């Protein structure tokens, strides 16, 4: 077994034993071995050379032998992500609002709930996705109870909780569950033009992630023009941020749909609004500003297959002050896109450099986001890939 590029088998045995909630003694008993034998295997003191022994351990742990060897298509990180998504799905599958069920649990006041929602949003923007996964089920339950008790005060926290839930689920590669969250957000926002526009940002993301780019473009454009001020020069910065962000979403959807001309026009329109807003703001968790629009312009170029244009602009944008003011999640996600451009240009060295920077800024973008793991696997296959990325790919079981 070529273990140089893999996690030690013993560590995988220990991991899956823990997942199955088995003690070393129980595992030993089921294998007909001693507890000392299991302990030595897990610590790497004793090697596992016999295929029959590996098959027996895998059978007891209820996993494929390939998983035990680190050759699985679904490594442990994916299992954890799937379980996290399932917990969120369960939380979203309650209908306390519609049924107005009496709750024996304490209803949080609106201001307290708003702080908790803000905390989860901030955690998301710092790209701490595992922590957000842990926080969301309870948050969803709390906002639904509060809204059922006090619809007026509870509406905004409810919409925002659904928004951040949808944003996270898109990151985790679960657009089907994200659709449930964003549909709830749009329903809860009905009647409030600002909340509708805010929820439509995530609606565009979900539709694009679901392969419905043309619908995403139509929906986000409609939402953008409904929130747009009559005259840009007199527009409120917060509403300009929502409108501009929706135009960016429409541009990304247009590029995904192959409509490059429309994509560029929409980015230009968003840039006019960004010039009025300026950098360093985060109205409605959009991070909208001139630098954000330039990142979107580069993302459109990547989506359109113009790697040369993307790389030329990238070398300049990260030197802006506005770059440092953007959320870690925003910057790292952008860098994953840029790494893709470098790969398209047959420059794996630069792709590795950019991906290393993304991992430094927000490790979870690479470790927990399927798109990041996919790019990591591609970069790590190249002999010139940075050693740190090769090791990370081996640790995560991708490549």
Are residue 322 and residue 373 in the same domain, yes or no? no
Are residue 25 and residue 60 in the same domain, yes or no? yes
Does residue 244 register a pLDDT over 70?
yes
Q: What is the pLDDT of residue 95?
A: 65
Are residue 264 and residue 274 in the same domain, yes or no? yes
Are residue 207 and residue 182 in the same domain, yes or no? yes
Does residue 318 register a pLDDT over 50?
yes
Structural domain of residue 377, as residue ranges? 330-399
Are residue 223 and residue 272 in the same domain, yes or no? yes
Taking only the tens place, the pLDDT of each residue in 68-115 is: 776 544 454 555 677 788 889 888 887 655 455 555 567 877 788 899
Distances (CA, A) of 134 to 75, 156, 179, 368: 20, 22, 20, 14
Are residue 223 and residue 278 in the same domain, yes or no? yes
Give the separation between CA 193 and CA 318, rounded to whole angstroms: 34
Please identify, among 19, 38, 69, the residue that sits at the C-terminal boundary of a domain.
Answer: 69
Does residue 6 register a pLDDT over 60?
no
Give the separation between CA 227 and CA 241, rounded to whole angstroms: 10
Are residue 177 and residue 282 in the same domain, yes or no? yes
Taking only the tens place, the pLDDT of each residue in 359-371 is: 999 999 998 898 8
Domain CATH number, residue 321: 1.25.40.10
Please identify, among 311, 329, 347, the residue that sits at the C-terminal boundary of a domain.
Answer: 329
Give the containing element (helix H, strand E) for 240.
Answer: helix 237-256
Number of domains composing the chain: 3
In 3-state terms, what secondary structure has residue 226? helix
Mean pLDDT over 367-383 rounds to 87
Which is higher by pLDDT, 398 or 346?
Answer: 346
Domain CATH number, residue 46: 1.10.260.40
Are residue 16 and residue 108 in the same domain, yes or no? no
Are residue 35 and residue 184 in the same domain, yes or no? no
Are residue 201 and residue 280 in the same domain, yes or no? yes
**What is the DSSP-derived secondary structure letter of residue 108?**
P
Give the separation between CA 132 and CA 118, rounded to whole angstroms: 12
Contact yes or no for 303/256 (Cβ under 8 A): yes
Which is higher by pLDDT, 134 or 150?
Answer: 134
Are residue 157 and residue 263 in the same domain, yes or no? yes
Does residue 50 register a pLDDT over 50?
yes
* Helices H / strands E in the chain, number of each: 23, 0
Question: What is the C-alpha radius of gyration for the chain, rounded to an integer number of angstroms?
Answer: 24
Please identify, among 69, 88, 111, the residue that sits at the C-terminal boundary of a domain.
Answer: 69
Are residue 350 and residue 283 in the same domain, yes or no? no
Q: Token pair 């996919």 is at which residue?
A: 374
């Amino acid at each position: 077994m070529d273990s140089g590029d893999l996690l030690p088998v013993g560590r995988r045995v220990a991991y899956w034993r823990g997942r199955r909630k088995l003690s070393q003694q129980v595992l030993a008993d089921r294998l007909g071995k001693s507890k000392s034998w299991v302990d030595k295997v897990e610590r790497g003191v004793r090697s596992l050379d016999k295929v029959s022994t590996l098959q027996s351990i895998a059978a007891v742990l209820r996993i494929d032998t390939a998983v035990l060897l680190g050759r699985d298509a679904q490594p442990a990180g994916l299992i954890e992500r799937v379980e996290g998504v399932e917990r969120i799905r369960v939380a979203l599958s309650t209908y306390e609002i519609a049924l107005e069920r009496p709750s024996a649990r304490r209803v949080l006041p609106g201001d307290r709930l708003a702080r908790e929602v803000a905390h989860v949003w901030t955690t998301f923007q710092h790209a701490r996705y595992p922590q957000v996964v842990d926080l969301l089920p309870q948050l969803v339950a709390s906002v639904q109870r509060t809204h059922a008790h006090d619809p007026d005060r509870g509406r905004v926290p409810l919409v925002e909780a659904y928004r951040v839930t949808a944003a996270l689920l898109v990151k985790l590669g679960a657009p089907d569950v994200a659709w449930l969250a964003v549909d709830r957000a749009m329903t809860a926002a009905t009647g409030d033009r600002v909340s509708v526009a805010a929820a439509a940002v995530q609606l565009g993301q979900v539709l694009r992630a679901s392969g419905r780019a043309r619908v995403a473009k139509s929906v986000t454009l409609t939402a953008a023009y409904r929130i747009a001020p009559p005259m840009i020069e007199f527009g409120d910065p917060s509403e300009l941020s929502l409108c501009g962000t929706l135009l960016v979403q429409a541009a990304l959807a247009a590029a995904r749909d192959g409509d490059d001309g429309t994509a560029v026009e929409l980015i230009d329109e968003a840039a006019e609004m960004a010039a009025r807003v300026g950098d360093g703001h985060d109205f409605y968790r959009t991070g909208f500003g001139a630098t954000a629009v330039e990142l979107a312009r580069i993302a459109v170029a990547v989506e359109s297959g113009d790697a040369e244009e993307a790389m030329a602009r990238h070398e300049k944008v990260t030197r802006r002050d506005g770059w440092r003011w953007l959320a870690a999640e925003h910057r790292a996600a952008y860098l994953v896109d840029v790494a893709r451009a470098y790969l398209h240009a047959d420059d794996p060295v630069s792709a590795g450099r950019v991906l290393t920077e993304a991992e430094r800024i927000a490790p979870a973008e690479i470790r927990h986001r399927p798109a990041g793991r996919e790019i990591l696997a591609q970069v790590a296959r190249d002999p010139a890939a940075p050693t740190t990325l090769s090791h990370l790919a081996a640790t995560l079981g991708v490549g």
